[in-house]
Amino acid sequence: MKAHPAARKGPAMATIAPARFETVPHSGERLAFLEGPGRPGGPTVVWLGGFRSDMRGTKAEVLSALAEREGLPFLRFDYSGHGESEGAFEDGTISRWTEDAAAMIAARTSGPLLLVGSSMGAWIALRLGQRLPGRIAALLLLAPAPDFTSRLLEPRLSAAQREILARDGRLEEASPYSDQPTVYTAQLIRDGEAAGVMGGPIGLDAPVHVIQGMEDPDVPFSHALDLVALLPSAGVTLTLVKDGDHRLSRPEDLARMEAAVTSLLADGQHGGA
C-alpha cells in the first residue's frame, strides 16, 4: 500500500480552521486536532486517516460538514509525524498511532463513537473497536487496509528491497500521490505483525460498513472480502464500487460515504456510554 496525501479540492475546503493541540501522555507530543461540538447525546464521529495523510483532506472535510448539519460531535486529528502534529513520521508504528488515537478519543470525547477509518485508519479503527467495545456505535471502513504491512507490502517486496530494508532499516519507494517518496521502516513492519487483526475472527459488537473500490491499485478488493469474512456475521455491509479507486474522493464516492454514515446513525444502534 502506497501513501496518499489527501486530496485538496472541492467546496468543503473553503474554510481553513486553525488547529488546536492536545499533549498525549504516552509520548509527550502535541497532536493537532479539529473538532465540532454537536448537540449532547449523539455519537461522536471520529475520523481516522490513512498512512501519511492528514486531517484536512476532502473526506474529512465532507464528514465535518455532515456532522455539523446533523448536530453531531466530530473529531479529527493528525497522528504523530503526520500533518500538523509533532513527532517524526519514521518513528511511527501502527501501535503508536493507535495509542495516539486512543489518547485523543479519551481526551476529547465522551459517550458513543462512530469511527470512520480510511485505509490504514481502518486498521486503527478495528483495533479501537476491540479496545473500546462499550463505546463503539458503528464503524465505517473506507478502502480498509488492516494488516497491510504483512498482507500487502511484504509479499510484493523484491529480494533487493528486502536486502535494503534489512541493511538500512528503511525502504523508500516513489509515490504516485506525492513528489516525496513513501518510506517504510523495519520497525513499522515488525510492529505490524504484532498489531495485526486478521489472524482470526475479529470480535466486534457493532455494525460495520465497508466501502471498497474494485479498481483500487493499492488495496485489492479481495482484501476487503477477506476482512468481511472475519467480521461478525450480523450487521456487516460491504459496498463494492466497480470503478472506485483508493481515495474514494469523487463526488459520487463522497455521497456514498455520507449515505453510509446516515444509515449507520439511523440504525439507532448507538452503543454504550
Q: Specify burial of residue 69 (Cβ count, 10 A radius: 0-12, 13-18, 19+).
A: exposed
Our measurement of the distance from residue 120's CA atom to the centroid of its chain's CA atoms, rounded to an integer in Å, reads: 5
Cell of 150: 504483512
Instruction: Tell which phi-psi region holds residue 140, choosing left (phi > 0), alpha (psi between -120 and 50) or beta.
Output: beta
Alpha carbon distance 78, 60 (integer Å): 11
Of 11-25, 162-176, 191-205, 239-253, the least confident: 11-25
Strand pairing class (208-213; 236-241): parallel
Question: 3-state SS of the chain: helix, strand, coil percent to 5?
Answer: 35, 20, 45
pLDDT at 233: 75
**Predicted pLDDT at 13:** 45
Lowest mean pLDDT among 117-126, 234-243, 260-269: 260-269
* pLDDT confidence band for 89 (50 / 70 / 90): very high
201-236 confidence digits (pLDDT tens): 999 999 999 999 999 999 999 999 999 999 987 799
Q: Residue 186: phi, psi to the nearest 5?
A: -60, -35
Which pLDDT score is estimated for 273? Answer: 35
In DSSP terms, 171 is beta-bridged to 184
pLDDT at position 82 is 98
Residue 40: partners with Cβ closer than 8 Å, 6 or more residues away: none
Hey, is 96 helix, strand or coil? Answer: helix
**DSSP structural state of residue 167:** H
Give per-residue pLDDT as tens, 24-51: 999 999 999 999 999 887 899 999 999 9
pTM, entire model: 0.92
Phi, psi (deg, nearest 5) at residue 220: -65, 150
Average pLDDT of the segment spanning 84-99: 98
User: Rounded to the nearest 5 degrees, what angle is found at the Cα of 106, between the Cα atoms of 94 and 87?
Assistant: 45
Q: What mean pLDDT is reported for the chain?
A: 92
- Considering only residues 237 and 267, tell me which one the structure prediction assigns the higher pLDDT: 237
Which cell goes with 199? 489472524
pLDDT of residue 11: 43
Whether residue 66 contacts residue 258, with contact meaning beta carbons closer than 8 Å, is answered with yes
Question: Is the per-residue pLDDT at 270 higher than 50?
Answer: no
Question: 60-83 pLDDT, tens per residue?
Answer: 999 999 999 999 999 999 999 999
**Which residue's entry shows cell 513513501?**
182
Q: What's the pLDDT at 176?
A: 78
Q: Say which range, 98-107, 137-146, 175-184, has the weakest mean pLDDT.
A: 175-184
**Mean pLDDT on 252-264:** 98
- Give the pLDDT band of residue 271 (cuts 50, 70, 90): very low
Q: How confident is the model at residue 3 (pLDDT cuts 50, 70, 90)?
A: low
Look at the chain and count its residues: 273
